[in-house]
Chain A
Protein backbone atom coordinates (compact mmCIF):
# COMPACT_ATOMS: atom_id res chain seq x y z
CA UNK A 1 0.00 0.00 0.00
CA UNK A 2 1.12 3.55 -0.67
CA UNK A 3 2.30 5.31 2.42
CA UNK A 4 4.07 8.37 3.75
CA UNK A 5 6.33 7.94 6.76
CA UNK A 6 7.70 10.59 9.06
CA UNK A 7 10.46 9.27 11.25
CA UNK A 8 10.07 11.40 14.33
CA UNK A 9 6.81 12.04 16.10
CA UNK A 10 8.23 14.51 18.56
CA UNK A 11 11.36 16.64 18.42
CA UNK A 12 12.60 19.03 21.08
CA UNK A 13 15.50 21.34 20.38
CA UNK A 14 16.96 24.64 21.45
CA UNK A 15 16.89 27.89 19.55
CA UNK A 16 19.66 28.19 16.95
CA UNK A 17 19.93 24.42 16.64
CA UNK A 18 19.58 22.84 13.23
CA UNK A 19 16.47 20.90 12.35
CA UNK A 20 16.02 17.98 10.00
CA UNK A 21 12.77 16.07 9.67
CA UNK A 22 12.66 12.88 7.68
CA UNK A 23 9.96 11.88 5.22
CA UNK A 24 9.82 8.76 3.09
CA UNK A 25 7.13 7.66 0.71
CA UNK A 26 6.32 4.39 -0.98
CA UNK A 27 4.70 5.59 -4.18
CA UNK A 28 6.00 4.46 -7.52
CA UNK A 29 6.44 6.73 -10.49
CA UNK A 30 6.23 10.49 -10.52
CA UNK A 31 5.11 12.16 -7.33
CA UNK A 32 4.65 15.68 -6.04
CA UNK A 33 5.87 16.35 -2.55
CA UNK A 34 4.91 18.89 0.07
CA UNK A 35 5.69 20.02 3.56
CA UNK A 36 2.95 21.72 5.54
CA UNK A 37 3.18 23.41 8.92
CA UNK A 38 0.50 23.88 11.53
CA UNK A 39 1.27 26.45 14.19
CA UNK A 40 -0.60 26.12 17.49
CA UNK A 41 -4.22 27.05 17.01
CA UNK A 42 -3.82 27.77 13.32
CA UNK A 43 -4.66 26.04 10.06
CA UNK A 44 -2.27 24.09 7.87
CA UNK A 45 0.01 26.22 5.73
CA UNK A 46 2.22 25.25 2.81
CA UNK A 47 5.93 25.49 3.63
CA UNK A 48 7.31 24.27 0.33
CA UNK A 49 6.68 21.90 -2.52
CA UNK A 50 8.50 19.85 -5.12
CA UNK A 51 7.01 19.12 -8.53
CA UNK A 52 10.07 18.81 -10.76
CA UNK A 53 13.46 20.35 -11.49
CA UNK A 54 16.04 21.21 -8.85
CA UNK A 55 15.65 18.62 -6.10
CA UNK A 56 16.65 21.17 -3.48
CA UNK A 57 13.68 23.40 -2.90
CA UNK A 58 13.46 26.45 -0.72
CA UNK A 59 10.33 27.45 1.09
CA UNK A 60 9.13 30.12 3.41
CA UNK A 61 10.67 31.05 6.75
CA UNK A 62 14.11 29.70 5.89
CA UNK A 63 13.05 26.10 5.35
CA UNK A 64 14.35 23.91 2.57
CA UNK A 65 13.86 20.31 1.53
CA UNK A 66 15.76 17.88 -0.62
CA UNK A 67 14.13 15.32 -2.87
CA UNK A 68 16.24 12.17 -3.23
CA UNK A 69 14.46 9.98 -5.72
CA UNK A 70 16.64 6.93 -5.13
CA UNK A 71 15.80 7.00 -1.45
CA UNK A 72 12.13 7.96 -1.88
CA UNK A 73 12.82 10.74 0.59
CA UNK A 74 11.94 14.40 0.98
CA UNK A 75 13.60 15.64 4.14
CA UNK A 76 12.93 19.07 5.59
CA UNK A 77 15.74 21.19 7.00
CA UNK A 78 16.32 24.50 8.68
CA UNK A 79 19.85 25.54 9.69
CA UNK A 80 18.88 27.55 12.75
CA UNK A 81 15.46 27.29 14.35
CA UNK A 82 13.63 29.93 16.31
CA UNK A 83 11.13 29.65 19.10
CA UNK A 84 8.44 30.61 16.60
CA UNK A 85 9.13 27.42 14.64
CA UNK A 86 7.33 25.46 17.34
CA UNK A 87 4.62 23.71 15.37
CA UNK A 88 3.52 20.44 13.85
CA UNK A 89 5.03 19.57 10.50
CA UNK A 90 3.41 17.30 7.95
CA UNK A 91 4.90 15.72 4.87
CA UNK A 92 2.43 15.00 2.07
CA UNK A 93 2.48 13.31 -1.32
CA UNK A 94 0.24 13.38 -4.34
CA UNK A 95 0.40 11.83 -7.78
CA UNK A 96 -1.43 14.69 -9.49
CA UNK A 97 -0.06 18.18 -8.86
CA UNK A 98 -2.44 19.85 -6.42
CA UNK A 99 -4.77 16.87 -6.14
CA UNK A 100 -5.51 14.39 -3.38
CA UNK A 101 -2.89 14.52 -0.67
CA UNK A 102 -1.69 11.66 1.48
CA UNK A 103 -0.19 12.93 4.69
CA UNK A 104 2.42 11.54 7.00
CA UNK A 105 1.63 11.24 10.69
CA UNK A 106 3.22 14.57 11.50
CA UNK A 107 6.13 15.64 13.68
CA UNK A 108 5.60 17.87 16.66
CA UNK A 109 8.56 20.24 16.96
CA UNK A 110 9.14 22.16 20.16
CA UNK A 111 11.83 24.83 20.20
CA UNK A 112 12.92 25.94 23.62
CA UNK A 113 14.29 29.44 24.25
Chain B
Protein backbone atom coordinates (compact mmCIF):
# COMPACT_ATOMS: atom_id res chain seq x y z
CA UNK B 1 0.00 0.00 0.00
CA UNK B 2 0.89 3.65 -0.25
CA UNK B 3 2.95 5.27 2.47
CA UNK B 4 2.22 8.46 4.36
CA UNK B 5 4.75 9.90 6.76
CA UNK B 6 4.48 12.52 9.46
CA UNK B 7 7.16 14.62 11.05
CA UNK B 8 7.84 14.97 13.85
CA UNK B 9 6.45 11.88 15.52
CA UNK B 10 6.59 13.58 18.90
CA UNK B 11 6.99 17.22 19.88
CA UNK B 12 6.96 19.16 23.12
CA UNK B 13 6.48 22.91 23.00
CA UNK B 14 5.91 25.69 25.46
CA UNK B 15 2.58 27.40 25.83
CA UNK B 16 2.25 30.34 23.47
CA UNK B 17 4.60 29.02 20.82
CA UNK B 18 3.71 27.58 17.44
CA UNK B 19 4.51 24.15 16.12
CA UNK B 20 4.38 22.78 12.59
CA UNK B 21 3.55 19.19 11.69
CA UNK B 22 4.29 17.83 8.23
CA UNK B 23 2.38 15.15 6.37
CA UNK B 24 3.91 13.64 3.25
CA UNK B 25 2.70 11.10 0.74
CA UNK B 26 5.87 9.25 -0.16
CA UNK B 27 4.93 7.27 -3.25
CA UNK B 28 1.78 8.83 -4.65
CA UNK B 29 0.30 12.21 -5.40
CA UNK B 30 -2.30 13.18 -2.85
CA UNK B 31 -4.86 15.57 -4.17
CA UNK B 32 -6.66 15.51 -0.85
CA UNK B 33 -5.31 15.34 2.67
CA UNK B 34 -7.21 15.14 5.91
CA UNK B 35 -6.17 16.14 9.41
CA UNK B 36 -7.57 14.34 12.45
CA UNK B 37 -7.17 14.78 16.15
CA UNK B 38 -7.35 11.93 18.61
CA UNK B 39 -7.72 12.30 22.35
CA UNK B 40 -6.66 9.46 24.65
CA UNK B 41 -9.04 6.52 24.49
CA UNK B 42 -11.27 8.41 22.09
CA UNK B 43 -11.95 8.33 18.40
CA UNK B 44 -10.38 10.28 15.59
CA UNK B 45 -12.11 13.58 15.02
CA UNK B 46 -11.79 15.16 11.59
CA UNK B 47 -10.40 18.67 11.83
CA UNK B 48 -10.11 19.73 8.23
CA UNK B 49 -9.88 18.66 4.62
CA UNK B 50 -7.30 20.15 2.34
CA UNK B 51 -7.10 19.96 -1.42
CA UNK B 52 -3.87 20.80 -3.17
CA UNK B 53 -3.74 24.44 -4.13
CA UNK B 54 -6.95 25.34 -2.30
CA UNK B 55 -7.82 26.64 1.12
CA UNK B 56 -8.61 23.99 3.68
CA UNK B 57 -12.18 23.27 4.70
CA UNK B 58 -12.51 23.15 8.46
CA UNK B 59 -15.03 21.16 10.44
CA UNK B 60 -17.44 22.93 12.70
CA UNK B 61 -15.82 24.00 15.93
CA UNK B 62 -12.26 23.92 14.62
CA UNK B 63 -10.55 27.32 14.75
CA UNK B 64 -8.98 27.94 11.36
CA UNK B 65 -6.77 30.74 12.71
CA UNK B 66 -5.39 28.43 15.34
CA UNK B 67 -4.87 25.37 13.18
CA UNK B 68 -3.32 26.61 9.95
CA UNK B 69 -3.29 24.08 7.15
CA UNK B 70 -1.26 24.43 3.99
CA UNK B 71 -1.41 21.93 1.13
CA UNK B 72 1.13 23.51 -1.17
CA UNK B 73 2.08 20.46 -3.19
CA UNK B 74 0.69 17.07 -4.15
CA UNK B 75 2.91 15.37 -1.61
CA UNK B 76 2.98 17.71 1.34
CA UNK B 77 0.48 19.21 3.75
CA UNK B 78 1.36 21.03 6.94
CA UNK B 79 -0.60 21.72 10.09
CA UNK B 80 0.61 24.60 12.22
CA UNK B 81 -0.76 24.90 15.73
CA UNK B 82 -0.42 28.58 16.57
CA UNK B 83 -0.12 29.98 20.08
CA UNK B 84 -0.39 26.50 21.49
CA UNK B 85 -2.01 25.90 24.85
CA UNK B 86 -2.00 22.80 27.04
CA UNK B 87 -5.50 21.90 25.85
CA UNK B 88 -4.06 21.53 22.34
CA UNK B 89 -2.04 18.58 23.55
CA UNK B 90 -3.22 15.63 21.53
CA UNK B 91 -2.37 13.08 18.88
CA UNK B 92 -2.64 14.53 15.38
CA UNK B 93 -3.04 12.16 12.45
CA UNK B 94 -3.09 12.96 8.77
CA UNK B 95 -4.34 10.91 5.87
CA UNK B 96 -3.85 11.34 2.16
CA UNK B 97 -5.55 10.05 -0.91
CA UNK B 98 -5.40 10.17 -4.66
CA UNK B 99 -8.65 10.60 -6.62
CA UNK B 100 -10.84 7.53 -6.39
CA UNK B 101 -8.50 5.82 -3.98
CA UNK B 102 -8.67 5.04 -0.30
CA UNK B 103 -7.24 7.22 2.46
CA UNK B 104 -3.81 6.22 3.66
CA UNK B 105 -2.97 7.25 7.18
CA UNK B 106 0.20 8.61 8.67
CA UNK B 107 1.61 7.31 11.94
CA UNK B 108 0.54 10.37 13.89
CA UNK B 109 2.28 13.14 15.84
CA UNK B 110 2.07 13.39 19.61
CA UNK B 111 1.96 17.06 20.66
CA UNK B 112 2.52 18.00 24.27
CA UNK B 113 2.19 21.65 25.25
CA UNK B 114 3.72 22.56 28.60
Chain A residues at the B interface, C-beta cutoff of 8 Å = 4, 9, 36, 42-46, 49, 90, 97-98, 100-106
Does B34 contact A104, Cβ atoms closer than 8 Å?
no
B99 CB to nearest A CB, Å: 9
Chain B residues at the A interface, C-beta cutoff of 8 Å = 1, 4, 34, 41-46, 49, 93, 95, 97, 100-103, 105-108
Closest to B107 in A: A43
Bound-state CA distance A101–B45 (Å) is 9
Given the known inter-chain contacts A43-B4, A44-B93, A45-B1, please indicate yes or no for A105 contacting B43, CB distance below 8 A.
yes
A56 CB to nearest B CB, Å: 20
Q: Which residues of A contact B107 (CB under 8 A)?
A: 42-43
Given the known inter-chain contacts A45-B1, A100-B49, please indicate yes or no for A90 contacting B43, CB distance below 8 A.
yes
Does B46 contact A100, Cβ atoms closer than 8 Å?
yes
B28 CB to nearest A CB, Å: 13
Given the known inter-chain contacts A98-B100, A100-B34, please indicate yes or no for A43 contacting B106, CB distance below 8 A.
yes
Closest to A106 in B: B43
Does A105 contact B42, Cβ atoms closer than 8 Å?
yes
Q: Which of A100, A102, A104, A106 has the most CB of B within 10 A?
A: A100
Closest 5 CB pairs of A and B: A44-B105, A103-B43, A43-B107, A105-B43, A103-B44
B109 CB to nearest A CB, Å: 11
